[in-house]
Amino acid sequence: MVPVPSYYFILITDNSPIPVNTPNSYFFRSFLVIFLAACFFLGLKEVLPKRIFAESKGPSKNVLIDSMLIDAFESESDSVLVTPNDTLADQKIVFEESLGVTFPEETLENYKGYQYLIPFYEQLYQLENNPNAKVRIAYYGDSMTDGDMIVQDIRSAFQNNFGGKGVGFVSISSESAASRSSILHEFSTNWKKQSYLTVKNPIRPFGVNGQVFFANHPSEDIWVKYTAGRYKNANVLDNPTIFYGSSDNLFGVVNYTIATDSVHKTLTAVNRLNTIILKKGSLKTLRLSFKNAQSVPIYGLNFDDGKGVHVDNFSQRGNSGIPISKFDPALMQAFQKKLNYNLIVLHYGTNVLNYGTKDYNWYSRSMTKTVNRLREGFPGASILIVSTADKATKYKTEMKTDSAVVPLTFAQRNYALKTQSAYVNLYTLMGGDGSIVKWVENEPVLANKDYTHFNIRGSKKVAGLLYQHLMKGYQDYKRLRNTANAVKPKIQKDTLLEIPIETKLEEVDEH
């Protein structure tokens, strides 16, 4: 027997039974519920917060943040709020003479600190008068410079105007290798990597790139491969040189091929920092394989022609800049003797904005320690602080500049002043309030829909803004230098990479 559904019935005047739960009745009830809910929401809309969910202190779990930033934030969460102070905007900053040159006084609001770039500018000046001189820049950043974005265009601008070829220092592995076009970078997946972003006490000190690598699989092929990109000044790999640290293991070997010749070099890890020039001259591609190199800290390779300007990109996603304070000063001094950095750029802020706060005193204090550690490790290098760029957040239904952006730029300016570093306000250079929204909506588009990161066009534009900012100071320096009683320092000797004696002997025998 087929079951008959049961219904409730009501009687109307003609005594005909009609089911209550008809399809029309279901539709009417559903519509009524939706209508009442909409009315309820519209009625409460005016009393809801601007953001549906209130800001909470601390980073989002979905955002990669370095562990030291979390520690710094939690330990300083009760500090005093940093707010704009109009009474300090006109505060005068007077500089002391350096190399016979003194820049005019500046106001706090328009602080640039070109005075503190004089050692860097002087070396640029010497380079203009001696093509064999060298200038080197270390550019530390976060995801804004991922894949060599921004930095590759700054490098090109310097090299087009002052000479120099090569992409500079490149790590053994990189999370952004696939998106980098200035050099093609491949590597095996069995490297053991330690990064200052996540490890506080590494097996061996971090290298100048904030990382250290180990080839700890004796039975596996552990390799890294570099191929020159297509950029005008980076279409070959000049003077490839490997950098590695000290170890009790003195029998590690690096194998590679040049033309049809197989080359084997011993990693004699006797010094705090060791180098081997793998080839004097240029290559198009280079593949290195490591054998018996357990416990030997490998830092990366350098590619440059030994003259002009070279810019190393040390970017790492999620970085706040604070982990740089974990650098070992003695090892950094060894890197400085070999690479001789004239300028160190710190370009951070993107990840610091994820903390739901406008209080950045804690960050300013932590970055002051970071800059002081850099001065200890890289004596003589000028330092430039690049502020956070604009970033937008949705308020009600509109994308607007995040309310934390300006307070963070104040904090970054504060630690630049405190550490006698130069400063550039990227937020202002972009156009200030609401600029990232315009960059996203621009035609052609200059920034991504996350209202934070630039695309290739936007990165090129940012590079141009930063380069122009530096060159404005340089032109002012040359004018002041030529009109003042400036000290004329001797041109620095060409700082060649220091090579252990045993390595030099090997190269004489083989080449």
Residue 290 bridge partners (DSSP): 222, 254
Rg (CA), the chain: 29
H-helix or E-strand spanning residue 375: helix 361-377
CB atoms within 10 A of CB 384: 26
The answer to whether residues 489 and 99 touch, using CB atoms and an 8 Å cutoff, is: yes
Encoded tokens for 45: 């809309």
Q: What is the pLDDT of residue 175?
A: 85
CB atoms within 10 A of CB 453: 18
Q: What is the pLDDT of residue 298?
A: 98
Under-50 pLDDT residues of the chain: 1-2, 4-16, 18, 20, 45, 47-64, 77-86, 491-511
Closest CA to 144 of 357, 436, 393, 474: 436
- Residue 286 contacts by C-beta under 8 Å, 6 or more apart in sequence? 225, 226, 227, 237, 240, 256, 278, 279, 301
Q: What is the pLDDT of residue 32?
A: 65
Phi, psi of 85 (to 5 degrees): -130, 100
Q: What is the pLDDT of residue 58?
A: 47
Place of tokens 């060894």: 334
3-state secondary structure (DSSP) of residue 382: strand
Phi, psi of 227 (to 5 degrees): -130, 135
CATH class of 170-305: mainly beta
3-state SS of the chain: helix, strand, coil percent to 5?
Answer: 35, 25, 45
CATH class of 1-81+96-164+309-488: alpha beta
HSE of 338, CA atoms in CB hemisphere, 13 A: 27
Closest CA to 385 of 355, 354, 363: 363
Closest CA to 365 of 87, 145, 114, 82: 82
Q: What is the pLDDT of residue 273?
A: 98
CB atoms within 10 A of CB 129: 8
Q: What does the alpha-carbon distance between residue 66 and residue 237 come to, in Å, rounded to a whole number?
A: 32
Identify each DSSP E strand in 104-216 by its residue range: 106-107, 134-141, 168-170, 183-187, 192-195, 211-214
Q: What are the sequence ranges of the domains in the chain? A: 1-81+96-164+309-488, 170-305
Identify each DSSP E strand in 125-234 by its residue range: 134-141, 168-170, 183-187, 192-195, 211-214, 222-228
Q: What is the pLDDT of residue 487?
A: 59
